[in-house]
Structure 1
Amino acid sequence: MRKKILIIPSWYPNTDNELIGTFFKEQAQLLNENGFDIKIIYGIEKELGLFDYLKSRLKHAFSKNKLVNRSYLIQDPEACSFSINHYKKWPTKWKLQNSKKAYQKAFEIITNSWCPELIHAQCTANGGIYAHYLSKINKLPFVIIEHQTFLLNYYHKKTQRAIREAIENASKIGAVSYHQQRCILMNSMDCNPEIIWNLMDEQKFQIPVKTEKSKFTILAITYPQLIKDSETFFRSLEAFKELYNGDFEAIIIGNDSFLDGSKANSSYLESLAKKHNVLDNCTFYPKLTRTEINVKLQSCDVFVSTSVAETYGVAVREAMLCGKPVIATKSGGVEDSITAETGVLVNLKDAEAIAENLLKIKNKELVFNPEAIRSLVIKQSGRAAFIKTMTDFYT
């Protein structure tokens, strides 16, 4: 009998944005196909003005059986969404309570014919908070794997307290890197986080066949937030341009639209490229499919990450699965996989060091074995490693 697991993610791919939280879906799908019976439940929270809030209450007053939607979230495994509407002027305490009650109503609907043995929250804020509530009400154990940058003071005090209570009452806590483990414990949490590296599916990424290329190609996947430090990336391109007289191309994938993919644009990133005189060397892709991203990873010579903090570094590992060397800042999670055999680590904001190492890779002063790069990632968090780790975690 397959163990029934209810997963509560803190974000998930949907019809508005198919890329957000794709790794949550891919992990759930793999587990669902390998010994577990997985279902997803996810509440879509909105803050409304008074008129719209009252209108929403009236609309749902007599539609209990229609609360759960199975068409908004991307399926396989079965994924159910439901709306959580808050009056925007409510205090945080009321909004949290409203969300908890909504999760319980949705839980009652989906468990009419299927009851989980364990609840798994992907991130404490706010999935872990809701998992803790469902655990208490329904007498079920729950676990949390923390993926987000763990900055407790970022949240309202009521949310901080709920985060702490969830973590300290969970059956198990997972962290996606040693950096993440340290961040959780630095907040004086009474827990013992296990290292649960994210799934890196080696079947989706391959080392490309060698072909002759006319341009040295650098790839970055980013978005316009300070934690990604895109400015340092474009500064490094400017410094590289001064060191290298030949032609090169920088491919930049990313945008600032997390909720609605149709609004994706790269205008901010383009402005940074223009500021640092490298716009003519850059090609921007605000929105690509997973398959298209894979093609770009296959075509680059080196992947660059300039983040201030990475809890894990999915994009970095995807590049490594393609056998690509990585130049990355010492941002935390990526440091678990980047060694002298797989890439280069530099200090935060050190654009000059990035440029110097780009030149060494271009001139073949630094040479890496693609198979060795790929095999390290597979050993840590490939399909077999992930299934074994999660089987132990769910026990």
Structure 2
Amino acid sequence: MPKKILIIPSWYPNSNNELVGTFFREQAHLLNANGFDIKILFGVENEVGLFKYLSIRLTQLFSKKNDLNKTYLKQAPEAFSFPIYHYKKWPEKRQLKSSKQKYQQAYKAITTLWQPELIHAQCSAKGGIYAHYLSKKNNIPFVIIEHQIFLLNYYKKYVQKGIRDAVENASKIGAVSYHQQRCILMNSMDCNPTIIWNLMDESKFEINTKQTNTKFTILTISYPHLIKDTETFFRSLEAFQTICEDNFEAIIIGNDSFNDSSKANSFYFETLAKKYNVHDSCTFYPQLTRAEINTKLQSCHVFVSTSVAETYGVAVREAMLCGKPVIATKSGGVEDSITEETGVLVNLKDAKAIAENLLKIKNKELVFSPETIRNYIIEQSGRDTFIRTMTDFYNEKKS
């Protein structure tokens, strides 16, 4: 019988934003088809006014139906969402306590006919906190794979404690890069994180053997946050513009609309492009489908990442699956996959070095094998490797 795994993600693709947490769903989907019985449970938290909160509570008290929903989250595997309503003037500590209780209610509802053998939290905040609570209430082991930047001081003290308790009491902890492993341990966590590189599904990306774009094309995928250091990207374009004799195109994909994709825009990126006098060489896409991103990756000549910190670097590796060389800052997670045969690493904020290496790639002073780049990623974290790694992670006892 397939092992039953309940996944508690910290975010997940939904009807408001189908791209957020896409890799969580893709990993779960692959595992569900290869030896595991996977289900997803995710609470959607909302802050409301007093009258609305009281009205909702009264309705819930007199209703015999549960609030589980299979239309909000993207399906395959089976994914259940449920609403969590907080009175907006509650302190965050009370909200967290209420959320834990709602997770327990939802857990009881989905386990009437299906009982998980293991709970898997995707990220410690706050999926790990909820998984730990469910584990204690129902006497079921849980594991955590940490995906986001691990900075305990970012959270309030009671959340820090919740994260620490979850990490140190989990059956196993996974980290998506050696950088991430180091960050967890630097917070004095009593654990031994296993490296679990994210799934890079080679079936969704391929090498374009007929490069039709003659204009040298640079691509980046980002969002407006200091951790992405997009300003360095535009400074590098400005520097490249001064040393490149030919016209080039820079494609910038991304926005800051995480909760509602209908509000996606490129205003932040366009402002920086104008500031560094490269706007005329740039094309902006606030949001693209996965298929459209694949097409853009296949048409570019090089992918650039200027992040200050990357826990893993999904976009970087997707470009590499398309056989594209990468110029990336030494931001942590990406360093596990970039070698002299697959790309170039530069120091943080070094726009000049990025520009110089862009010119070398354009002039074919630096030449890379697309097949070598792609195969490196497949061997490290392709479908077969990911299934084997996760099978060991789910089945091995705590180290």
Q: TM-score range by the shorter chain?
A: over 0.9
1:213-253: CA deviation from partner (whole Å, max 9, x where unpaired): 33000000000011111100001001000010211000000
Does residue 224 of structure 1 match 2:211? Answer: no
CA distance in 2 between counterparts of 1:212 and 1:159 reads: 51
Q: Distance in 1 between matches of 2:19 and 2:390?
A: 23
CA distances 1:284-333 after superposition (whole Å, capped 9, x unpaired)? 00010000000000000000000010000000000000000000000000
What does 1:130-279 correspond to in 2, within 5 Å?
A: 130-279=130-279
Secondary structure of 2:7's aligned partner: strand
CA distance in 2, matches of 1:333, 1:62: 50
- In the aligned structure 2, how far is the partner of 1:190 from the partner of 1:145? 15
The equivalent residue for 1:75 is: 75
Larger CA deviation: 52-61 vs 236-245: 52-61
**Counterpart residue number, 2:293:** 293
Match for residue 62 of structure 2?
62
Matching residue of 1:320? 320
Which amino acid is the alignment partner of residue 205 of structure 2? F
The amino acid of 2:17's aligned partner reads N
3-state SS of paired residue (2:204): coil
Amino acid paired to 1:144: I
> Residues 66 and 109 of structure 2 are in contact (CA less than 8 Å); yes or no, is this contact kept in structure 1?
no
> Where do 4+ consecutive residues of structure 1 move more than 6 Å?
none
Specify the code of the residue in structure 2 equivalent to 1:290.
R
Measured in 1, the distance between the counterparts of 2:8 and 2:114 equals: 16
Could you tell me how far apart the structure 2 residues matched to 1:259 and 1:63 are? 29
By how many angstroms is 1:32 displaced?
0.1
What one-letter code is carried by the residue in structure 1 that aligns with 2:143? V
Q: Distance in 2 between matches of 1:266 and 1:387?
A: 37
Which residue does the alignment assign to 1:367? Answer: 367
- Are residues 347 and 88 of structure 1, via their aligned partners in 2, closer, same or farther at CA, if it must alter by over 3 Å? same
Q: Structure 2: how far apart are the matches of 1:390 and 1:90?
A: 39
Q: What CA distance in whole angstroms lies between the structure 1 residues aligned with 2:220 and 2:288?
A: 13
For 2:20 and 2:220, locate their aligned partners in 1 and report how far apart those are by CA, in whole Å: 17
Given that residues 15 and 74 in structure 2 are in contact (C-alpha distance below 8 angstroms), is that contact kept between their aligned partners in structure 1?
yes
Instruction: Tell me, yes or no, if the aligned pair for 2:135 and 2:142 is still in contact at 8 Å.
Output: yes
Distance 2:377 2:174 in 1: 19
Q: Which moved more, 1:287-296 or 1:202-211?
A: 202-211
**AA matched with 2:45:** E
Matched residues in 2 for 1:231 and 1:58: separation?
Answer: 50
Please state how far the C-alpha of 1:88 moved relative to its aligned partner: 2.2
- Residue identity opposite 1:333 in structure 2: G
Instruction: Write the deviation string for residues 324-367 of structure 1: whole angstroms up to 9, x where unpaired.
Output: 00000000000000011000000111111100000000000000
CA distance in 2, matches of 1:365, 1:87: 61
Distance in 1, Cα, partners of 2:116 & 2:359: 54
Paired residues of 2:325 and 2:343 also in contact (CA < 8 A)? yes
- Asked if 1:35 corresponds to 2:35, the answer is yes
Gaps of 5+ in 1: none
Aligned match of 1:48:
48
Q: Distance in 1 between matches of 2:122 and 2:84?
A: 19
SS of alignment partner, residue 34 of structure 2: coil
In the alignment, what sits opposite 1:105?
Answer: 105
Structure 1 distance, partners of 2:211, 2:391, is 41
Cα distance in 2, alignment partners of residues 308 and 59 from structure 1: 47
Distance 1:64 1:368, change over 3 A: farther
How many aligned residue pairs are there? Answer: 395
Q: Secondary structure at the match of 1:250?
A: strand
- What SS does the aligned partner of 2:100 have? helix
1:95 CA drift (Å): 1.2
Between the aligned partners of 2:230 and 2:122, the Cα distance in structure 1 is 27
1:17-36 equivalence runs, <5 A: 17-36=17-36
Paired with 1:23 and 1:99, the residues of 2 have a C-alpha distance of 24
- In the TM superposition, residue 65 of structure 1 has moved relative to its aligned partner by 2.5
Give the equivalent residue in structure 1 for 2:348.
348
Secondary structure of 1:257's partner?
coil
Q: Calculate the aligned-residue CA RMSD, in Å.
A: 0.9
Q: In 1, distance between residues paired with 2:71 and 2:210?
A: 42
Classify the secondary structure of the residue corresponding to 1:311: coil
- Is the contact between residue 213 and residue 299 of structure 2 (CA under 8 Å) also seen in structure 1? no
Q: Distance in 2 between matches of 1:136 and 1:212?
A: 57
Contact 2:213–2:300 (Cα < 8 Å) also in 1: no
Helix, strand or coil: the match of 1:361?
Answer: helix
- The AA in structure 1 aligned to 2:94 is W
Q: Structure 1 CA distance, aligned partners of 2:358 and 2:64?
A: 58
Structure 1 position 87, deviation (Å): 1.6
Distance 1:212 1:28 in 2: 35
Q: TM-score normalised to the size of structure 1?
A: 0.99
Secondary structure at the counterpart of residue 197 of structure 1: coil
Letter in 1 for 2:122: Q
TM-score (norm 2): 0.98
Q: In structure 1, how many angstroms separate the alpha carbons of the residues matched to 2:105 and 2:171?
A: 23
Is residue 316–residue 334 contact of structure 2 (8 Å, CA) maintained in 1?
Answer: yes
Residues of 2 paired with 1:211 and 1:185: CA distance? 44
Partners of 1:265 and 1:286 within 8 A in 2: yes
- Asked if the contact 1:92–1:158 (Cα under 8 Å) also holds between the matched residues in 2, the reply is no
Tell me the amino acid that sits aligned with residue 291 of structure 2: T
Deviates more, 1:56-65 or 1:81-90: 56-65
Per-residue deviation, 1:212: 4.4
Could you tell me whether the CA contact under 8 Å between 1:92 and 1:156 is conserved in 2? no
How far apart are residue 64 of structure 1 and its match? Answer: 4.7
- Residue pair 1:92, 1:159 contacting (<8 A) in 2 also: no
User: Contact 1:65–1:109 at 8 Å: present in 2 too?
Assistant: no
